[in-house]
Structure 1
């Protein structure tokens, strides 16, 4: 890890937390009609999309941290490609939050910094565990997205379209990580990750 890589990581962090993200792919559901939602439905949908946005902030930091310490060039490439799609997810979630009259999490700098540290630690353990951590992270994110599809208001087709496409992408990221040599994490580690994820989602819904 050299100074240039650290400068790039800092720049990416500032961009993720402080500036709007941009997507190459079109926003899923952009051509669907806007739904007539009550205030409670809007607030709930915005809270769920804020959780998803925080998840993408964390994903950016995790990928950045893992890429800094990954040793295998193929692993670095896989991480970079997945990170690009996570940037698109960031943009999609932000668009839905704005449309629903919500706001992004006030704790995004904290989420980013803590996830960057975790990503760097995972990368330092070696590529098989680095990629295994990535696969497990994406698996758990996919489970959250599936639950959000049951919680989002049925009429909010635009948010549901975003979440559904994100779910497809996350599953592919997990498969890619395993295909590049990722190892399944021990059950206790998976349990700790699930506990940390619950804390994040409960907090991000409100803050």
Structure 2
């Protein structure tokens, strides 16, 4: 595709992501039965956590698309696109669970998408090994983030717990796949910068 076609395609994907109409891989929803016997406080906490996770999945979509757009290696580009499709499942699940909890998405999601796309494109332009290293570190940080949420969510909210556990397993798998594909470890200052950026996003999305 030429530059204009690429631009139109990326705008289409961005709109579908932000309107939650993007298709995933078709995997079934991890929740078998909606848990409705939660207290008001338990529902409020779970909704807050899922709003943050939804924002994170919006950002993940953009990161993968940004990296894939500038990737010159066909195999690695396909890997990035496929991982992004698997992340779309998470996007769908988080949105569905948030609706079940009567919560609303963060109004800042378009900002996170635009910023993450740019960050993904920048890291992707440094070469395939650095791009894969960025994927590896991102997924490792997401795993830690999900583990914190698992420690906070009410034990009564088994539905949210199942979603978080499934997402954690997928994120860990993506990190391992990046390592196996030849990722190059990022510098400590870069890792800290990524962690700080993630904290800004999660803390803002929890309330806005």
TM-score by length of 1: 0.96
Q: Is the 8 A contact 1:51 1:204 kept in 2?
A: yes
- Partner residue of 1:69? 70
Relative to 1, partners in 2 of residues 1:97 and 1:68: Cα closer, same or farther, differing over 3 Å? same
- Partner residue of 1:93? 94
- Partner residue of 1:110? 111
Instruction: List per-residue Cα deviations over 1:147-195 (Å, max 9, x = no partner).
Output: 1111111111111100000000001111111111111111110011111
| Structure 1: gaps of 5 or more residues | none
In 1, Cα distance between equivalents of 2:149 and 2:119: 25
TM-superposed CA distance for 1:33, in Å, is 5.2
Q: Is the 8 A contact 1:140 1:194 kept in 2?
A: yes
In 1, Cα distance between equivalents of 2:34 and 2:16: 31
Q: Is the 8 A contact 2:57 2:88 kept in 1?
A: yes
TM-superposed CA distance for 1:9, in Å, is 1.0
Relative to 1, partners in 2 of residues 1:37 and 1:22: Cα closer, same or farther, differing over 3 Å? farther
In 2, Cα distance between equivalents of 1:20 and 1:33: 22
- Partner residue of 1:140? 141
| Paired residues for 1:1-207 under 5 Å | 2-23=3-24, 24-29=26-31, 31-32=32-33, 34-207=35-208
SS at match of 2:183: coil
Q: Is the 8 A contact 1:47 1:205 kept in 2?
A: yes
In 1, Cα distance between equivalents of 2:20 and 2:38: 28
| Structure 2: gaps of 5 or more residues | none
TM-superposed CA distance for 1:8, in Å, is 1.2
Q: Is the 8 A contact 2:57 2:87 kept in 1?
A: yes
TM-score by length of 2: 0.95
TM-superposed CA distance for 1:21, in Å, is 4.3
TM-superposed CA distance for 1:22, in Å, is 4.2
The two structures, once aligned, show a CA RMSD in angstroms of 1.2
Aligned residues, how many? 206
